[in-house]
Structure 1
Amino acid sequence: MSTRALRKAQQRAEEERLAALAASPPSKDSQNDDEEEDEEEEEETPIVSKKPNLFAMLEAELEEAEVEDQDEENEDDVPEPPSTTSTAPSKSKKNKKKKKKNKGKSKAVSEDREDDDKAFDSALQSLKSTTLFPTTPTSSPSSPSSLLTTLLHIDPRHLDLENEMRKLFGRSATTRENPPRSRLPGASTRALSTRRNPFVQPSENWPRDSSGGLSMDLLSKSPIDNTISFKYTHSRAYQETQRQFLLCVRSMDPDRMISHLSAHPYHISTLLQTSHIALTQSNDHTTSQTLLSRALFSLGRSSHSVFPTSLTSGLARLSFSYFENRELYFSAWKYILSLSRRGLWRTGLEFIRLLLQLDPIDDPLCLLLIIDQYALKSRCFDILLSLSSTPLLKPTWSNSPNIAYSLSLAEFMAGNLDSAKSRLREAITTYPWLITKLHGTLSAENATKPLPEELWGLLPPTEIDSLLAEMYTLRMGDLWNIPEHAQFLISVLHDSKKFNNIDRRNLGTMKSVYVDAKLRDLARHIFLMDPSESRGLIGFLPAKLRNDQGYAWDILPPEGKESEYQKEMETGSTAAGVPTETVGPRGLFEAFFRSLLPDFQPPEMPQPTPTAAAAAVNQEQPRQQQEPGTFEVGEDDLRATLVTMVEDGVGFPAGMGLSDRAELALNVGLVPRELRGWFGERFGVVVGADDNVHDEVEEEADVVEEEGGEEEEVQERDSRAIDRLVQILGTGDRASLRMRVDRMFEGQGAEMAEVRRRVEERLGLR
C-alpha cells in the first residue's frame, strides 16, 4: 500500500470516528432546563467546514506524487491530515458549567485520537513488515553482495542535472522553475506522468503522448541477495511501430525518420536514431540531448512500480541479453556523454552507477573503463575507492590499468599522500608503458623533469594494452596535467627509489581478460564513444568487430542475442523497403540515389504473366526488362535524376558552377557510358575521343558477354556498378569515405554484405 493510500485511509477513519461522536447523544445535566439542553446540542453538533477548492486538492495530489520517494523513506513519520469537520463556535451566553463540560469532552476526544494514532502506526508497521519485496537485503550486512548493494544504491537527487547546475552555476542557470502552488495541473508537465520519473523529469514543451505500448515486467527475485530482475516488454502496437521505424531506416531518408518521430514522439529506437543524426550530421548537441532525455523519460514512466525503489536500494537488475532492455543501456550511455560535454560529471557518475547496478558482474558496457574519469572529475574519489575494494568487483578492477593509476590519484585527492605514492609506484611497475603516455601528455610547464631511463623502451605487449593506454590518456590526460597532480607524478618518478626492479618478462597485460564476449563488450564500448575520441581507437580492434558495428539503435548486440526486428530487417527487405524477391541487388543504386534525392522513385519491375513468360523463353528480352540480379536503372528515370543532381548541385561541393558540376559528373563516372553523348549535349560538355573508343570496346565486350551466358553478364554489370560507386565515393579522406560508406549501407541486409566488402576493398578501407 502506498503512502498516499494510507493517508486517505487514515483520513476516512478520522471522519468516521468524528461522525460517530457527533451522532451519540450528549450527556445531560438533570438540573438544566429544556432551553439549556437545546443550546448544548447545538453547541456540540459538528458542522462541515467550507468546501475545499478542487484544483487545490488536485495540486496537492500532484505535490504528493512529486515527493513520494521522500515519503517512502520516512513512512514511519506520517503526518496527521487536517480534519474536515469543525465544531461550531459557542453562543455569546455561556455559563461555566458548559465550559467545563466542553473541556472534558475535548480531553476525551484528544485521548481517543492518540489511541487511534497508535493503532494506525502499529498497523502501518505490520504492513511494512509484510512487504512482498523488502528494500533491504536479508543477507548479512557484511556479506560481499550486501556491500556491493550498499555501494551501488542510487540517490534520485543526483540523477537530476538541474540540481548539479544549480550547485555549480546558481539558481539562475537552471531552466526548470518550481511551479507556483496556484498553478493548474493542466498547465503542468506533471500531466505526462502520474508519479515522479526515476531518470529524468519532463520539460514543458515536450509532447503529451503515451509511451505507445512500452512496459516493464518483474521477472524474479533472488532468494540469495534479494536482487530483483526486470524486463521491458513491447506490446503489439509497439512492435508495429518498431517495424515502421525499420522501414524508415531502410529508406535512408532523414525526413521520413523525422516524420515517424512526430507521429511517435516517445518511441525509443526512433529517438536514439534521430539523436544520432542530430549529433553526427548537424553537430546539434542540444537537440541530441533533448531526444535522449525523452527516451529516458519514456523508459522511466514505463518501468515497474517496484523498479524505482529497487534502484534506490541497489537491488535492480536488468539483463543486457534482451533487446528491449538494451535500449535503456544505450539511452543512458549517450545521455552520460551529453552530460560530460556540459561538465555535469556528478550527474553522469550517478547514471554510470545506475547502469553498473543493473549488471555489475558482467558489465556489458565496460563501465570499468570510464567510471574513474567521472568519479575523479566530480571529486567523488571516495566512491571509486570504495567500489575498487568491494570483494565482488576487486578481482576484475584490480587488474585494470586505468583503475590502478586512477586509484593513486584518488588517494592523492583524498589527502593520503603515502598511500597515493605506493599505489602509483605499483601501477608504474605493472603497466610502465602507460606512464610513458601520461608523461608525454604533460605540458612543458608541468613536465619539469624527463622520464627516467629505466622506463624507456617499455612498450605495450599486445594491441589490447595499446588500446587501453590510448583510451586512458585520452580521457585522463587533462586531469593529470593539473599542476599539483603533475607535480605529484614527477615526484614519484624521480623518487630515491628507482624502477630497476621492473621485470620486462612479467608485465601486466589485459590480453587474457578481453577475449570472446568481453572483447565484444570492449568493442561496443568504443563504438559508443564520442566519434571524435573513438576514431583513433577503432583500428586496434579485430577486423571482424570493426565490420560488424550493428546499428545506432542497437550497437553490437551479444552474439546470438540479436533482436527479432533486426533479423526481420536483414532478411525481409532491401534499402527501399520493397521485398528482396521483387527488387534484387538493384537496391544498391536505389539506396544511393535515395540518399541523395529523397523523392527518387525507382522504375517498377514488370511482372510478366505465365503466358507471356512462356512465350518469351526463346526471345531476347528488351534492355528495360532485364531479370532481377543486375544494377540497371530505367534510362528515363536515370536521365531525370542526373539532370536534377547536376542542376541543383546535389552531392557537389558548394560554390561549384553548372559546367564544372557536369564535368565532374563525367570524370568520376557518375554518367553511364551509354548516356555520355546525351549528357554532353544536354550540358554543353565535350566528351573525349577516348570515351567514344572505350564505348565501342565496351559494346564489343557486351556482345561477347551476351554470347558467354547470362551469369557472366550479371557479374560484369555488377563490377561496373561497383566501379561507379567507387569513383563516386573515392573523392575524400579516409574518415569521409568511411562515413559515406556507412551511410550508404546503413540498414542494408545481409545480401548487401558482399557488395560492401568489395566497395571497401576498392577504397582501401579494409
Structure 2
Amino acid sequence: MSTRYMKKVYGSDVTLETGNDNTSDTEVSVTSNAKSKSFNVFDVLNSDKEDIDDRQEDEDLITNSTDYNTKRKKKKKHKKLENERIKNQQEHDGECNENIDEIERSIREVNKLLGEPLPGCSTQVLEAQWVDDISKEDILIVQRKHLNPHNELKRIFGSKTIEAGQSKKNKGRPGNLKKTWLIYPEDIYWVSLKKSGLSMSLDLDYSTETTENVLYFVYEHSASYKEIQQKFLQAVESLNPENIISIMNAHSYHIDSLLQVSEMCKLTEDLAHAAEFIKRALYCLECAFHPFFNITTAKCRLDYRKQQNRAFFITLFKHLGFVGGRACYRTSLELCKLLLSLDPEGDPLAVVLCIDFYALKAKEYEWFIKFCNLWEDSRNLTQLPNIVYSLALAHFRLGNKTDADTLLQNALIMFPDVLMLLLEKCSIQTDSKVRFHEFFYSHANTSPALEKLQKLYVMRSFHLWKETGILPWLEECVHTVLNRVESGDDYIKYCQVKRSTRYRGKLPRNILRHIILSDLQEVIVNVQEIQGEDPVLSHDPLPPLDSIDIYKRPTANNRPNSSNFFSLFFSSLFRNINGAAAALNDLNLLEENDDQA
C-alpha cells in the first residue's frame, strides 16, 4: 500500500513499519498532530484518478493483505470505540467525584452546625443511625393498613371465613356512605349520614403556638346541633333513659346520645349493639374532619379541655376496647397511638396504662421498647407498674435474657404486690418460701392509689404471664429477688422509700377517667376518690377542672341531694330497665326497616 494512499485514508503524518518476516507481519503506525480523522469509506469512492493509479499499483499488496486489513480495521475500530468509552467513563467519574466532594463538604458544614460526628465511618453505619434517630412524636405515627380490624381478623381466621360472614350483612347497606379510615364499609349497617351539624376547624387559640408542623383543631357545633345537645342535657338531668332514646330516634347521629345508649346496651349485656352505636358515633366524627386533620401523621392535636372535643377522645377509647375484645390487638395498638397523639403530653385518658398490653399482645416488642425509651424523660413511664413489668416481658420475648432478668427483678422490688395478685389471678400455687415471705406477703403500707394501679395492670394483663415459658422465668427472678432481700441490697431500701413518698397522693384525674371508661369489674372508682363535685356521666366522665364549656353542666341546685351521686346516677338511669330495653328494641327494628328501605 502506498504512502500517499494511507495519507489519504488515515491522515497526513504516517510512518510505515514493515517487519522482516512477511507481509502479514506488517504494522501500521499512524501519528497526527491534529485530531485523528475517523475512517470514511466514501472518501475512497470519491478519490481522483491519482488515487486509482495508486490502488492499481498496490493491487497485489492489497490482495495479499486482505485478511490482515479486514482484521486490522475491525480491531482498530473496536479499540477506538473502547478508548472513547473509557474516556467518557473517566469524564463521568470525574463529575461524580466532584459531586461527591461537594456533598461531603456540605455534610461537614451541617455536622458542624448540628454537632454530629464528622464522617469517619461507612455509609451503612450513617444510614442506620439516621433510621434509628426518630422523635418521640414519630413513634406515634399510625399505619393506616392496621386500622382495619377486618384485615386482622382475616389473618387470624382466614379470609373465606370473614368474607362469608360479611356477605350476609351487606344486603341492606346503603351505597352512598362516605369512605373513612377509622370505620370501614364492613362496619357500616345503618342509614347514610346527611347533615350532622358537626364540623372541624383550626383552633385559633393555638395558631401562634404551633411548632414542628403541629396543628391544633377544634370541633364546631352548628345552631341546630346545639339545640339537640341542650335537649340531651335536659334528658340526662331527668335520669330517664327513655328520654335519651327518643333523642336517638329523632337524631340518629347525635354523638353524646350514641355514647349514652351504647352504655345502656353494654349494661344490658348487648355488646353487639353497644359496639355498633360507638362505630356510628366515630363515623360521624370522622366525616366532620378538617381536610388538614390527618390521623396518621401524629401531628394533629385536640384540646381535651374544650367540651366539644372530648367526644372524639371518649368514642375512640371505647372503640379500641371493643376492637380489642375481638382479639384485634394490632388494630387496637394503632388506635392507642392515634389517641395518644391527640394530646401526648397531657394524655387525658391515660392511654399509657393500656398501650403496653396491646403492644405485647400484638407482638410489637421492639416498638414498645423504643416508645418507652423516647417518652421516659417527659412522661416518667417507668414509675408505672404496668410499664416496668411489660418492658421486662418485651425484652424476654426478644431473647434479651440479661436485660429481661434485670428489669423483672427491679419491677418485683419496686412493685412487689403485683406478684401475689398475679399468682392469685392465674391460680398458681407457689412454694411456702415465696408465699409467706414478708417482702411479698404483707404490704400494709401500700397506698390506695398504687394499689389500684397494680390491680388494674394485673386484671388487664394477667393472661400474658400464663403463656409458655413465662412462669419458670418469673419463678427464677423471684428467688433471685429474695436472695437480694436477705443480703440487704441497698436497692431494696431505695424502693421502699420511693414507694412511701411518691404514691401517697390521690390518683390523677386522667387515671380515674381511664378506670371509669375501662369498666373492669375488679377495679372501680369510689366517690371519695373523685376530685370535685361534678357528676360522673358516661358521655363525659370527670371533665377537666379547667374545662372550657360551651354548654352549661348541671348545677348543684339541679342535682339530687345525695353524697353518692355517682351510684345514684347509674341506678336511676336503669330504674325502668324494662322500658329502656323495649325502647332499644324499637330502635333496632327501626334501623332494620331503614336498611331494608
Please tell me the TM-score bracket, short chain as reference: 0.5 to 0.7
Output the amino acid matched with 2:542.
Answer: L
1:434 to 383, 396, 418: 418
**RMSD (CA atoms):** 3.7
Q: Show the counterpart of 1:295.
A: 281
Cα drift, residue 323 of structure 1: 1.2
Cα drift, residue 460 of structure 1: 4.9
Distance 1:151 1:190 in 2: 37
Q: Show the counterpart of 2:348.
A: 364
> Is residue 2:228 matched to residue 1:241?
yes
The 3 A distance-change label for structure 1 pair 476 and 510 is farther
Contact 2:409 2:480 in 1 (8 A): no
The 3 A distance-change label for structure 1 pair 505 and 200 is closer
Distance 2:239 2:151 in 1: 39
> Is residue 2:295 matched to residue 1:305?
no
2:271 to 267, 285, 294: 285
Contact 1:145 1:225 in 2 (8 A): no
The 3 A distance-change label for structure 1 pair 737 and 236 is closer
Contact 1:405 1:424 in 2 (8 A): yes
Distance 1:420 1:197 in 2: 41
Cα drift, residue 241 of structure 1: 1.4
Cα drift, residue 270 of structure 1: 0.8
Distance 1:553 1:330 in 2: 7
Cα drift, residue 430 of structure 1: 2.0
Distance 2:410 2:432 in 1: 22
Contact 1:154 1:314 in 2 (8 A): yes
Alignment of 1:23-422 (within 5 A): 147-174=135-162, 189=174, 191-193=176-178, 196-202=179-185, 203-219=187-203, 220=207, 224-280=211-267, 282-308=268-294, 311-391=295-375, 395-422=379-406
Contact 1:437 1:473 in 2 (8 A): yes
2:542 to 556, 562, 572: 556
Output the amino acid matched with 1:199.
Answer: L
Distance 1:510 1:214 in 2: 48
Q: Show the counterpart of 2:428.
A: 444
Output the amino acid matched with 1:347.
Answer: T
Distance 1:379 1:307 in 2: 29
Contact 2:198 2:225 in 1 (8 A): yes
1:527 to 516, 531, 537: 516
Distance 2:450 2:314 in 1: 26
Distance 1:216 1:168 in 2: 37
Output the amino acid matched with 1:491.
Answer: E
Cα drift, residue 232 of structure 1: 0.8
Distance 2:449 2:273 in 1: 35
Distance 1:198 1:510 in 2: 46
Q: Residue deviations 1:352-372, cap 9 Å, x none?
A: 111111111111111111111
Cα drift, residue 248 of structure 1: 2.7
Cα drift, residue 187 of structure 1: 8.9
Cα drift, residue 251 of structure 1: 3.6
Cα drift, residue 253 of structure 1: 3.4
The 3 A distance-change label for structure 1 pair 391 and 737 is closer
Where does structure 2 lack aligned partners over 5 or more consecutive residues? 1-113, 117-128, 577-597
TM (norm. structure 2) is 0.65
Which structure has more relative contact order (CA 8 Å, sep 6+)? It is: 2
Output the amino acid matched with 1:155.
Answer: Q
Distance 2:133 2:229 in 1: 38
The 3 A distance-change label for structure 1 pair 470 and 187 is closer
Contact 1:452 1:494 in 2 (8 A): no
Alignment of 1:428-577 (within 5 A): 428-444=412-428, 450-451=434-435, 453=437, 455-456=439-440, 457-495=442-480, 497-500=483-486, 501=489, 502-503=492-493, 506-509=496-499, 512=502, 519-534=508-523, 537-539=524-526, 542-545=528-531, 548-561=534-547, 563-567=549-553, 569-570=554-555
Q: Residue deviations 1:630-679, cap 9 Å, x none?
A: xxxxxxxxxxxxxxxxxxxxxxxxxxxxxxxxxxxxxxxxxxxxxxxxxx
Contact 2:200 2:220 in 1 (8 A): yes
SS for the counterpart of 1:564 is: coil
Output the amino acid matched with 1:335.
Answer: H
SS for the counterpart of 1:317 is: strand
Contact 1:524 1:555 in 2 (8 A): yes
Output the amino acid matched with 2:184.
Answer: Q
Distance 1:336 1:471 in 2: 17
Which is greater in Rg?
Answer: 2
The 3 A distance-change label for structure 1 pair 142 and 400 is farther
SS for the counterpart of 2:199 is: strand
Distance 1:472 1:323 in 2: 30
Q: Residue deviations 1:256-285, cap 9 Å, x none?
A: 3223212211111111011011111x2100
TM (norm. structure 1) is 0.52
Q: Show the counterpart of 2:88.
A: none
Identity of aligned residues (%): 27
Cα drift, residue 545 of structure 1: 3.7
Contact 1:523 1:545 in 2 (8 A): no
The 3 A distance-change label for structure 1 pair 361 and 144 is farther
Q: Show the counterpart of 2:109.
A: none
SS for the counterpart of 2:508 is: helix
How many aligned positions are there? 437
Distance 2:431 2:425 in 1: 9
SS for the counterpart of 2:551 is: helix
Contact 1:345 1:378 in 2 (8 A): yes
The 3 A distance-change label for structure 1 pair 383 and 549 is farther
Distance 1:507 1:479 in 2: 30
The 3 A distance-change label for structure 1 pair 369 and 145 is farther
Where does structure 1 lack aligned partners over 5 or more consecutive residues? 1-137, 180-185, 576-587, 589-717, 730-734, 746-766
Distance 1:244 1:419 in 2: 57
Distance 1:510 1:367 in 2: 25
SS for the counterpart of 1:494 is: helix
The 3 A distance-change label for structure 1 pair 505 and 244 is closer
SS for the counterpart of 2:219 is: strand
Output the amino acid matched with 1:740.
Answer: S
Contact 1:216 1:231 in 2 (8 A): yes
Contact 1:439 1:447 in 2 (8 A): no
